[in-house]
Amino acid sequence: MTSAQWDDDDALEADLRAAMNALPVPEHVVAAAKAAYTWRTIDEELAFAALVYDSAMDSALTGSALVRGAGPRTLLFEGERLSVEIEVTEAGMVGQLIPPGPGGITVLTAAGTYAEAQADEVGCFLLSRPDHGAVRLTCRSGGNTLSTPWLPL
């Protein structure tokens, strides 16, 4: 932690050294953060769904080793008229629209559309996933739309 006292030249220089050398952020990370702004004007018409359950956070809160590794990660996003539940595995994502019904689902990454799928009559769908990175889902079903928050996988 930096010292509270900047009257002393050596203390000031030490703090400056810490400020300049502590956190070299790679240039491509800076570029990616700036490029995030291109999403500013996209998909404004979609209804926003909140993440209401994430099994990963469940185990984090309990801190229980027993819960960990106990099956795929489950996420529930709840919107006003349309919700979606997904299971994330290494291989991909399996999900269901709520209320159940046919529809279209898109996986987005920061770079744009990653994958698309159709949900069947009971709203079930299967999607591929990127190895890592922030993703969001957009869903359309029965005249309703949904957009999840960005989430790192």
Partner 1 sequence: MLGTRTNTDLVEAAARGDQEGWDEIVQRYLPLVFSVIRRYRLSPKDAEDVSQTVWLRLVEHLDTIREPRALPMWIATTTRNEALRLVSAHRRTTPVDPLGTSTLDAVADTRDVDEQLLGAERQQAMRDGLAELPPRQRELLLLLVADPPLSYETIGARLGMPVGSIGPTRARCLARLRNTPAMQAFLANGHDTDRRWTA
Q: Of 27, 45, 63, 112, which lies in the binding site for partner 1, with binding defined by CB under 8 A? A: 63
Q: Does residue 60 touch partner 1 according to CB under 8 A? A: yes
Q: Does residue 152 touch partner 1 according to CB under 8 A? A: yes
**Structure tokens that stand for 79 in this block:** 């919107």
Q: What SS3 state is found at 62?
A: helix
**Structure tokens that stand for 94 in this block:** 């399996």
Q: Of 27, 34, 45, 143, which lies in the binding site for partner 1, with binding defined by CB under 8 A? A: 34
Q: Does residue 56 touch partner 1 according to CB under 8 A? A: yes
Q: Of 134, 57, 119, nearest to 82 (Cα)?
A: 119
Please give the DSSP secondary-structure letter assigned to residue 96: E
Q: Does residue 92 touch partner 1 according to CB under 8 A? A: no
Q: Does residue 50 touch partner 1 according to CB under 8 A? A: no
Stretch of 66-74, 78-86, 93-101, 116-124 contacting partner 1, by CB under 8 A: 66-74
Q: Of 27, 45, 121, 132, which lies in the binding site for partner 1, with binding defined by CB under 8 A? A: 132
How many Cα atoms within 13 Å fall on the side-chain side of residue 16? 7
Strand locations in 42-129 (E): 50-54, 73-78, 83-88, 93-98, 103-109, 112-119, 124-127
**Cβ-contact 66, 88 below 8 angstroms:** no
Cβ proximity to partner 1: between 90 and 121 the closer is 90
Site residues (CB under 8 A) for partner 1? 1-2, 4, 6, 9, 12-13, 15-23, 25-26, 29-30, 32-34, 36-37, 39-41, 54-57, 59-61, 63, 65, 68-70, 73, 90, 110, 132-134, 136, 149-153
